[in-house]
Amino acid sequence: MTNAHAFSFTSIEGKPLPLTAFKGKAVLVVNTASACGLTPQYKGLEALWRAYKDKGLVVLGVPSNDFGAQEPGSEKEIQTFCETRFGVDFPLTSKEHVIGAGAHPLYKWIAGELGEGATPKWNFHKYLIGKDGAIAGTFGSRVEPESGELKQAIEAAL
């Protein structure tokens, strides 16, 4: 059976980022954008990372220009923006497509597992992957990173 650990990204620094590196950890995968009204969610994502990383949570930002062309910059520009504006030090991937035929294979797998209705509809859609690589939850763009709903799911996954 395929799970999320079967997939790999490239880090924003250009290095391999296999999800097998996160076996035994819960992973919150979030498609991000630097010029979106929801961009302040970076602050909450960083707070989640800091609160839960020692308990086994990985926050993984996946920059995407798929919605409203709100992530037009290069990887270096995205990384600099995230670090200087929001103090982000959780892992970020290279810029990826998260919807459509060109979507990253992880996003295609999630759509296959949960149906097209579970695909991201906007920036900052969140998928929680359990320690075993199975999908443990999906949260729309408007679910704040520090919401009780998301924190409960993370704690259950840990």
The residues annotated as belonging to the active site are 36
Cβ contacts of residue 85 below 8 Å, gap of 6+?
Answer: 42
The Cβ of residue 79 has, within 10 Å, a number of other Cβ atoms equal to 18
The Cβ of residue 2 has, within 10 Å, a number of other Cβ atoms equal to 10
Instruction: Provide the residue type at 82 as one letter.
Output: C
Nearest residue to 41 (alpha-carbon basis) of 156, 149, 141: 141
- Which tokens sit at 85? 């504006």
